[in-house]
Amino acid sequence: MKHRIVVVGAGFAGLQLVQDLRGLDCQITLIDQRNHHLFQPLLYQVATTLLSTSEIAWPIRRVLRERKEVTTLLSTVEGVDRPAREVVLRGGQRIGYDTLVLATGARHAYFGKDQWEADAPGLKTLEDATTIRRRLLLAFERAELAADETGRQAHLTFAVIGAGPTGVELVGIIAELAHRILPQEFRHIDTRKARVMLIEAGPRILPAFSETQSDYAKSALEGRGVEVHTGTPVTDVSAKGIVLGDQPIAARTVIWAAGVQASRAKDWLGAEADRAGRVMVTPTLTLPDDPQIFVLGDTAHVESDGKPVPGVAPAAKQQGSHAARTIRARLLDRPEPGPFRYRHMGNLATIGRNAAVIEYGSFKLRGWLAWWVWGIAHIYFLIGARSRLMVALSWLWIFLSGQNSARLITQKETLKDG
Amino acid sequence: MKHRIVVVGAGFAGLQLVQDLRGLDCQITLIDQRNHHLFQPLLYQVATTLLSTSEIAWPIRRVLRERKEVTTLLSTVEGVDRPAREVVLRGGQRIGYDTLVLATGARHAYFGKDQWEADAPGLKTLEDATTIRRRLLLAFERAELAADETGRQAHLTFAVIGAGPTGVELVGIIAELAHRILPQEFRHIDTRKARVMLIEAGPRILPAFSETQSDYAKSALEGRGVEVHTGTPVTDVSAKGIVLGDQPIAARTVIWAAGVQASRAKDWLGAEADRAGRVMVTPTLTLPDDPQIFVLGDTAHVESDGKPVPGVAPAAKQQGSHAARTIRARLLDRPEPGPFRYRHMGNLATIGRNAAVIEYGSFKLRGWLAWWVWGIAHIYFLIGARSRLMVALSWLWIFLSGQNSARLITQKETLKDG
């Protein structure tokens, strides 16, 4: 019987691993809750009407259709039976493994305030993106219908909590929607009066960047009409809005970009984890007590050169490749590669039309050139010729016409407070 | 005060009317439950993974952004207060009118069997399309996971009820998915063994076409692996499948394309209607007892040359234009146009890759040339330069690569029976 490799999660780590195992004589089962691989770094553009869902997601089966040794299953994993060496699916079905790879990602973390999630959704899946898009667009619609000025202003107040790249990128486009794209289209409201807030508990935005880049980003956002609040934590979130320190702010649209929590893999394994729920792994990326179980990407706590590896796409892909090399070496009875070492690919974030920041070691770039470099880099990393072409055309269209294209409110929702 | 025109519904009739009123000194309020105008003739392509939602829908506000006299409201109409001459919105808000235009379309009709809707969804909105897309794709996924052969075959049986253009177009692409696009991607099932059925109670498919065209369509579908059943009605629909005449067929995916029912406009107006709920209107397209209330499109029973006008996009647009001419004439104190006369634009339907039927009077076309003419005609009628370009590119891509692009399962659904 062939060596059975079960991979759970078709994100950057899991898919990279399967792709790097090409040609190896084995049997691979790839399990994911969704039928698509998602290019998460552009998810905020779906949430803010720049791209449509099919431009950043691809059916996993289609990507792997020529790999006859790979079976793709759309299913939800409920646990791992380590003594039996089986993965347990919802419905009770069991899939046996010789090697198990868990790359199940992360969700938003509300630091113990899970009740905030309903009013401050985060952004990790395509559904999250269309939910946020619907809320953003409905806020303007409800403001147009609002009977009084107080209600109108609450609908026109947008708060993004957390000023990492996702928060900065989201707030930049929201400001653009309000100040540049939508004003012409409403008759009862002036969307330019919308209050667009970026809130960060720490001392500065984009903390992973150097201070000069972070200062540039702040003033670029402010120049685009964003209120940047740093050093003050959000102490409450409700349907009415947020409390910033001790100051209540009526805001009907709140988006959470402040933190992540690893998936439940640690519970399935009964493994040791860090505070964010990430499974502690060896430098080989396996469990300390079972070298046949790999944990990769956002769901693993990996160290490289004594520092924890960040939860970004390039890190996940590098881990997928490293684990694939290890598995291949073992099956072919060759020496295993050394410990995993993270190669930092730099930090990138867009701020809005013609503005971005890029940092790679001591190399720093900002402004319009950084924005173009950022765009070209992202198109290059998209999977598939068609997506590259369509995303490039969408962006070109938006750049030339100044109009976003995916401004659809779908999924029904009662206009509860409209 | 300016003349107040309230238009309910931004489909083909309502939007055409508003566009044709350009330049008239008046005040227009356009109310729709959704924020987008939908190009319904291509909706079946979203349901079957050829196009993505944003390629066939456009924000109404964006289309009308330069028309300062037009206010667009995203809201649901709950009734019309005819004595007060006001439209009542959900939430109680009222909008006064001097002229009222109701163009609120139609939904599927289950001929008194409304309980069938849950298991046999119809196709009228973007949500309908993504629901059908999800069900189609999940059927193959569930078959791949199925534990036994009986369950697997039920998941691989697809039934489309009703063989007008929508039914024929849907079933043609479903057959193509099963027989040509998906086989490579599954490991436990052979998707070519899927049973794809088109069911029509009447004696032949595409009854609006001539018999030779209808015969061609039938054999073209059969050549593509579709089972065509005519002359036998569906007598029951349930979660397990359908009953065809008295023969039960286990089918987990059933799509309803068999009939429509007009919107509730007749109830709002207390007006006389036909069996399908369409409001009876005069040749001016107004209520017999109120010349200031127009009813247009699928929600009106209109006659032209003694025959009822069909519920198709060109008919709705022509009615919108005619009503706009009437309103303009009245406001400018000029003679009104004569009675509405429907100009038939021909019948078109695609059957699959390289096959379509076209009929215009005695002119008949079928096969690959008809398919290209059909494609060019539809691109021409799409709104907006970007949509035309993107749809053309999507189709070109599918034609050259043989791969559909919008194969995403979004919206969560428990795999109830998977």
C-alpha span between A156 and A174 (Å, rounded): 11
Please answer whether residues B199 and B164 qualify as being in contact, where contact means their C-beta atoms are separated by less than 8 angstroms.
no
Of the two residues B345 and B132, the one the predictor is more confident about is: B132
Confidence band of B415 (pLDDT split at 50, 70, 90): very low
C-alpha span between B9 and B16 (Å, rounded): 11
Active-site residue among B117, B144, B149, B169? B169
pLDDT at residue A411, rounded to an integer: 61
Longest dimension (CA), chain B: 74
pLDDT at residue B418, rounded to an integer: 28
> Hey, which residues does B226 pair with through a beta bridge?
B196
Q: Do A188 and B127 touch (CB under 8 A)?
A: no
Query: What residues in B contact A78, CB-CB < 8 Å?
Result: none
Q: Do A145 and B93 touch (CB under 8 A)?
A: yes
C-alpha dist (Å) from residue A190 to A178, A186, A198, B214: 9, 7, 21, 55
C-alpha span between A51 and A41 (Å, rounded): 12
Question: Is B383's pLDDT higher than 80?
Answer: no
Confidence band of B414 (pLDDT split at 50, 70, 90): very low
Q: Do A35 and B409 touch (CB under 8 A)?
A: yes
Please answer whether residues A30 and A14 qualify as being in contact, where contact means their C-beta atoms are separated by less than 8 angstroms.
yes
- For the ranges B165-169, B272-276, B360-364, which has the lowest average pLDDT? B360-364
pLDDT at residue A405, rounded to an integer: 65
Average pLDDT, chain B: 92
At the topology level, CATH places domain A4-108+260-331 in FAD/NAD(P)-binding domain (3.50.50)
Q: Do A54 and B145 touch (CB under 8 A)?
A: no
pLDDT at residue B405, rounded to an integer: 65
**Which of A274, A282, A350, A344 is closest to A315 using CA atoms?**
A344
pLDDT tens-digit readout, B171-216: 999 999 999 999 999 999 999 999 999 999 999 999 999 999 999 9
**Which of A306, A342, A340 is closest to A323 using CA atoms?**
A340
Confidence band of B391 (pLDDT split at 50, 70, 90): confident
pLDDT tens-digit readout, B40-67: 999 999 999 888 888 899 899 999 999 9
- 1.25.40.10, 1.10.167.10, 3.40.50.2000, 3.50.50.60: which CATH number matches B4-33+75-108+260-331? 3.50.50.60
Name the residues of A annotated as catalytic.
169
Confidence band of B288 (pLDDT split at 50, 70, 90): very high
The ipTM (two decimal places) reads: 0.89
**All CATH 3.50.50.100 domain ranges in chain B, comma separated:** 114-258
| Residues B185-206: b if buried by 16+ CB within 10 A, e if exposed | bbeebebeebbbbbbbbeebbb
| Residues A69-86: b if buried by 16+ CB within 10 A, e if exposed | bbbbbbbebeebebeebb
* Helix A385-401 with B385-401: angle, nearest 10 deg: 170
Q: What percent of chain B has pLDDT over 70?
A: 97
Query: A–B: how many Cβ contacts below 8 A?
Result: 139
C-alpha dist (Å) from residue B294 to A323, B103, B326: 68, 8, 10
Please answer whether residues A146 and A18 qualify as being in contact, where contact means their C-beta atoms are separated by less than 8 angstroms.
no
Which residue in A has a C-alpha nearest to residue B401's C-alpha? A386
Residue A62: CA count within 13 A, CB half-sphere: 21
Q: How far is A155 from chain B (nearest CA, A)?
A: 15
**All CATH 3.50.50.60 domain ranges in chain B, comma separated:** 4-33+75-108+260-331
**Which of A381, A64, A149, A342 is closest to B184 using CA atoms?**
A64
Of the two residues A397 and B15, the one the predictor is more confident about is: B15
Q: How far is B173 from chain A (nearest CA, A)?
A: 17
Q: What does the block give as tokens for B65?
A: 């952004």
pLDDT at residue B121, rounded to an integer: 94
Q: Provide mean pLDDT across the span B148-163.
A: 95
Mean pLDDT in order along chain A per 10 residues (418 residues): 96 97 97 95 92 90 94 97 97 96 94 92 92 94 92 96 96 94 94 97 95 96 97 95 96 94 95 95 97 97 93 95 98 96 92 91 91 88 78 81 72 40
Query: What residues in A contact B415, CB-CB < 8 Å?
Result: 74-76, 90-91
Q: Do A409 and B73 touch (CB under 8 A)?
A: no
Instruction: Please count the helices (runs of H) and the strands (runs of E) in chain B.
Output: 11, 27
**All CATH 3.50.50.60 domain ranges in chain A, comma separated:** 4-108+260-331
As a CATH number, domain B114-258 is 3.50.50.100
Q: Which of B51, B407, B411, B417 is most worth mutating to test chain A (most A CB atoms within 10 A of its CB)?
A: B407
